[in-house]
């Protein structure tokens, strides 16, 4: 997971603050580089007040090297044009062609440079007829999770943004002096209101004409420019940020074609046929999920300093349906001698512990009684039974209350600008799960005893997205009860449409803090597209009759449950949805009345 920082200032080359630099290095421990450049004859009024015609651009990147056979340091630059690129992402395909062998950062930079300059490789750096639309078209064909900053010096444009599902973090805001900052996390001690998520509804652009004649010159740190007579410093003008939107249809203005199509809104005539383990949709579901997962876990590089017995891939593992299904399919895709880590987190919750002691009259384990620990151990046993030749390593991550308190300020900072009690509960669970520090139990060792362990895997699999796509929340059942298939479709459509606006950026910030990368097989563009095009009654069991002779199974995510049955996971197929903050017991740790939506003090 890489860290990105870019600043625009009329006064000086502006580095990230010390704490921000430290956090960015946690995200990308393999490389850290900074570039300072001065843009002369910039477009008037990019900065207001003084009408500055010069802009200091600073690019800073940290790198977690995951792809290709060598470390690629960032920011990438092209000396002949002085264009710059900061990339935090995984590009799995470009223009429909899978990426293999080379580092994806280099490929994407080369691809964007070709889009913004004719005959790029031949040394002809003249811009295309419509460079903004050409750039937008190129971004449209990149499949994968990403956030980036790209300075196109040939056309004097600064682009920044996230993929259309918002799977990587990127924030932007103005500091106290009116300088623009774009960063993977909030810079310094600024209040949450100073930074906001870069929306995943488009790519954003700042025009810095006059264009081709504009030059960038490498500079050293320089003193602040003088203010005007009233003491005002130049401030960035927000009006200069323009959006290039994602769209399902061609538009007359620059735009990108979204890889995610509109949802199938077909309503059945009469009662749909039963959904069974032999249904064609369930069989195709397995194929599609295998393809998505294979891209994300095969040929993963050995982590630096890791031993051959250490896992390359770990699963954020509650023992629930979504994550256990990923673990089970991963078994079929990875060499049998590779260990797979199952990271299971449980918290000491003083309120719950006190209530249990009062009810039972004796102390109980605050960790082993956590719902996610109970389901996690049960799913671990089921995986051992089904896949006995695999070494499954169950990592019990026990977090004392004192440890939660010690790390709370760090978690609060990382999750900004999110700032509610629920945000903190969820962020804490993901933060400590991703740390991967606990006691490990290996399934292949006879009479094994738990031993202290810290996971070395840099790839973490997450089941996020399954609930939104396959109607896994209780509100989906309520929507169907109130509005039938139309109400259910509306609710799923709403969930999918706001994926990029909700919590993926927050989750990325807290997970990446440990130098690990979360990957989301359920949110692969091709997989999401296929699921959205399918009729709703093939994905879940609402309004669909039970098949005679088959075991009764919940309507929520019924297609995934049937797939679990096909793969031998009888117990997992019947697991109910449980929110992570309740399963791990991070919710409501202190006494008092508070709601999840309450803002933190």
Q: Which residues are catalytic?
A: 2
- In order of 287, 562, 574, the CA distances from 280 in angstroms are 11, 12, 21
- CA gap 533, 528 in Å, rounded: 9
3-class SS at 255?
A: coil
**66, 517 Cβ separation under 8 angstroms:** yes
SS3 (DSSP) at 9 = strand
Q: Which helix (H) or strand (E) holds 582?
A: helix 580-583
Question: Quick check: 174 and 235 in contact, CB under 8 A?
Answer: yes
In terms of Cβ atoms closer than 10 Å to its own Cβ (0-12, 13-18, 19+), residue 122 is: exposed
Let me know how many helices (H) and strands (E) the chain has, helices first.
Answer: 15, 24
For residue 69, the Cα-to-chain-centroid distance in whole angstroms is 24
Q: Give the closest residue to 241 by CA, choosing from 215, 184, 203.
A: 203
**What three-state secondary structure class fits 524?**
coil
Q: How many CB atoms neighbour CB 377 within 10 A?
A: 17
Return d(Cα 366, Cα 432) in angstroms, integer: 16
The tokens of 55 are what?
Answer: 């802009």
Which run of H or of E encompasses 216? strand 216-218
The whole-angstrom separation of Cα 419 and Cα 193 is: 10
For residue 505, how many other CB atoms are within 10 A of its CB? 25
Q: Which helix (H) or strand (E) holds 489?
A: helix 474-497
Collect contacts of 334-338 with beta carbons under 8 A, ≥24 apart: 334/297, 334/298, 336/389, 336/390, 338/311, 338/312, 338/313
CB burial of 349-358 (b: ≥16 within 10 Å; e: otherwise) equals beebbeebee
Residue 320 in tokens: 């629930």
Nearest to 515 by CA among 306, 322, 345, 338: 306
Angle between helix axes 401-415 and 18-27 (nearest 10 degrees) is 100
CA dist 224 and 54 (Å) reads: 13
- Rounded distance between C-alpha atoms, residue 22 and residue 188, angstroms: 10
User: Which residues are registered as beta bridge partners of 31?
Assistant: 63
């Amino acid at each position: 997971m890489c860290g990105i920082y870019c600043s625009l200032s009329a006064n000086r080359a502006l580095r990230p603050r010390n704490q921000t630099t430290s956090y960015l290095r946690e995200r990308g421990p393999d490389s850290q580089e900074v570039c300072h450049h001065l843009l002369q004859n910039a477009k008037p009024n990019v900065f207001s007040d003084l009408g500055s015609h010069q802009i200091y651009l600073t690019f800073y990147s940290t790198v977690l090297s995951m792809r290709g056979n060598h470390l690629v340091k960032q920011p990438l630059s092209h000396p002949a044009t002085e264009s710059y690129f900061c990339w935090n992402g995984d590009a799995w395909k470009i223009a429909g062609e899978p990426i293999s062998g080379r580092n994806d950062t280099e490929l994407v930079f080369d691809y964007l440079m070709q889009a913004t300059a004719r005959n790029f490789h031949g040394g002809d750096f003249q811009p295309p007829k419509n460079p903004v639309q050409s750039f937008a078209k190129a971004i449209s064909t990149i499949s994968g999770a990403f956030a980036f900053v790209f300075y196109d010096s040939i056309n004097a444009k600064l682009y920044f943004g996230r993929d259309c599902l918002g799977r990587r973090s990127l924030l932007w805001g103005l500091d106290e002096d009116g300088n623009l900052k774009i960063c993977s996390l909030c810079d310094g001690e600024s209040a949450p209101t100073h930074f906001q998520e870069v929306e995943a509804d488009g790519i954003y652009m700042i025009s810095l004409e006059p264009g081709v004649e504009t030059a960038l010159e490498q500079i050293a740190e320089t003193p602040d420019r003088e203010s005007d007579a009233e003491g005002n410093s130049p401030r960035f003008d927000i009006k200069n940020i323009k959006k290039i939107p994602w769209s399902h249809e061609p538009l007359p203005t620059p735009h990108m074609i979204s890889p995610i199509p509109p949802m199938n809104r077909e309503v059945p005539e009469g009662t749909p046929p039963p959904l069974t383990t032999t249904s064609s949709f369930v069989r195709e579901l397995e194929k599609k999920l295998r393809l998505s997962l294979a891209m994300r876990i095969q040929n993963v590089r050995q982590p630096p300093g890791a031993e051959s017995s250490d896992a390359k891939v770990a699963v954020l593992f509650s023992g629930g349906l979504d994550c256990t299904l990923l673990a089970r399919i991963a078994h079929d895709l990875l060499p049998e001698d590779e260990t797979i880590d199952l990271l299971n987190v449980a918290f000491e919750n003083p309120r719950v512990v006190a209530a249990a002691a009062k009810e039972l009259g004796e102390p109980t384990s605050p960790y082993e009684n956590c719902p996610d620990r109970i389901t996690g151990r049960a799913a671990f046993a089921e995986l051992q039974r089904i896949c006995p030749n695999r070494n499954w390593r169950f990592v019990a991550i026990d977090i004392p209350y004192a440890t939660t308190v010690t790390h709370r300020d760090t978690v609060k900072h990382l999750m900004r600008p999110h700032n509610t009690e629920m945000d903190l509960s969820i962020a804490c669970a993901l933060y400590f799960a991703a740390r991967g520090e606990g006691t490990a139990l290996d399934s292949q060792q006879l009479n094994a005893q738990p031993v202290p362990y810290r996971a070395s895997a840099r790839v973490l699999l997450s089941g996020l997205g399954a609930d939104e796509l396959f109607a896994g929340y209780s509100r989906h059942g309520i929507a169907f009860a109130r509005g039938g298939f139309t109400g259910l479709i509306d609710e799923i459509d709403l969930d999918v449409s706001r994926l990029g606006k909700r919590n993926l950026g927050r989750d990325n910030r807290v997970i990446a803090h440990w130098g690990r990368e979360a990957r989301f097989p359920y949110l692969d563009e091709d997989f999401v597209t296929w699921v959205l095009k399918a009729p709703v009654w093939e994905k879940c069991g609402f309004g669909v009759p039970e098949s005679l002779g088959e075991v009764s199974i919940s309507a929520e995510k019924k297609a995934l449950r049937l797939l679990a049955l096909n793969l031998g996971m009888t117990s997992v197929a019947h697991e109910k949805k449980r929110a992570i903050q309740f399963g791990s017991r991070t919710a409501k740790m202190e006494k008092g009345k508070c709601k999840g939506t309450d803002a933190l003090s």
